[in-house]
Amino acid sequence: MADTRTDAPPPEVATPPAEGATERASFRLALFDAVLVVVLFAGYGIGRLNNSVDNTHAGSIAAPAGHEHEADAMATGGSSAGSAVGGLALSADGLTLVPESTTLAAGRAQPLRFRIVGAGGAPVTTYAVVHDKPLHLVVVRRDLGGFQHLHPSMAPDGAWSVPLTLTQPGSYRAIADFTAVVGGRQVAETLGVDLTVAGSYQPVPLPAPARQASAGEFQAAYEGIPRTDSVQPLLITVTDRQGASARLEPYLGAYGHLVVLREGDVGYVHVHPEAQLVDGKVKFWLAAPGPGRYRMFFDFQVAGRVHTAAWTASVD
């Protein structure tokens, strides 16, 4: 409502500034705009620099929760250009995987021994514990058969060893997944080396893509479609022979572990799930590293026993 009081002050009347004042105001405005542009571009540059820092493996020695191999970023459902693959190199970040031997006999248990050495060849002896273990070792034949997820033990001098039985001849890939503590900083890495089992060997083709797989007395099925251009959810259901939901137990600090291996170069991605089950399902977030065919291995535990289900997935 308009003010009808007789004592109300008259409205202000804008008077045009003097010519010199107009020029000074225009100069100040132009200067402000220039400073604003500089600040915005500086902020953009700083943002790009910050975004270029890889925080995937940051974390504390006792429980470096960030060592999730992209799982923390995936848990937000954000976009990604595909997960980074590991296990393709023998050396990275100043660390080298040095095996004692790369030739094994088929069909009998024998120790696999190796060291992780730093610059100058000194063995690394301090590691962060990630998902209950200081080092995870995946061994798989290059045709993606014979998968094993092992946990070697380390001697005080930094020598790792684990009993290993490879039943079939062929070329295998051993991938060490760890977070070393070097010079007071943590270095999360996955290094790989080829192992040879002598004998007649014929590569086995990958099974056809499927969404269900047997794992002992259990059936495991997954929902979701892996993509390369964005992070997608994968939900895994485990049932018994009667179709009832299996009572999953935490295994290595989680309700399951998903190792994804790429056909051809055995590129390695290890994904950990969300902390809690979602309607009884284990929920992962995954961005495929690139187009191709993959073998997905899901480790889970029921009644104190660990089982592994495996699927082939084709990603366009």
Q: What pLDDT shows up at residue 11? A: 35
Percentage of residues in the chain with pLDDT exceeding 70? 74
242-279 residue pLDDT tens: 999 999 999 999 999 999 999 999 999 999 999 999 99
What is the pLDDT of the chain when averaged over all its residues?
81
Q: What pLDDT shows up at residue 110? A: 95
Q: What pLDDT shows up at residue 163? A: 97
Which one, of 298, 109, 293, 314, lies nearest residue 216 by Cα? 298
pLDDT of 80 strictly over 50: no
Map out the domains of the chain as residue ranges: 91-197, 212-315
Q: Mean per-residue pLDDT for 9-35?
A: 39
Higher local confidence (pLDDT), 9 or 128: 128
Which of 196-219 are b and which e, b meaning 16 or more Cβ less than 10 Å from the residue's Cβ? ebeeebeeeebeeeeeebebeebb
Q: Which CATH number fits domain 212-315: 3.40.309.10, 2.60.40.1930, 3.40.630.30, 3.40.366.30?
A: 2.60.40.1930
Q: Mean per-residue pLDDT for 201-219?
A: 95
Compute the distance between CA of residue 245 and CA of residue 280 in angstroms, rounded to an integer.
8
Q: Mean per-residue pLDDT for 164-184?
A: 97
The class (CATH top level) of 91-197 is mainly beta
Residue 21 has phi, psi (to 5 degrees) of -65, -35
Q: What pLDDT shows up at residue 81? A: 55
**pLDDT classification of 79: cutoffs 50, 70, 90:** very low
222-243 residue pLDDT tens: 999 999 999 999 999 999 999 9
Q: Model-level pTM?
A: 0.76
> Do 212-315 and 91-197 have the same topology in CATH?
yes
| CA-to-CA separations, 292 to 44, 69, 180, 262, in angstroms, rounded | 35, 20, 31, 7
| 65 and 72 Cβ atoms separated by less than 8 Å | yes
Q: Mean per-residue pLDDT for 88-103?
A: 97
Q: What pLDDT shows up at residue 206? A: 97
253 Cβ contact list (under 8 Å, min separation 6): 131, 132
Bridge partners, 234 (sequence order): 284
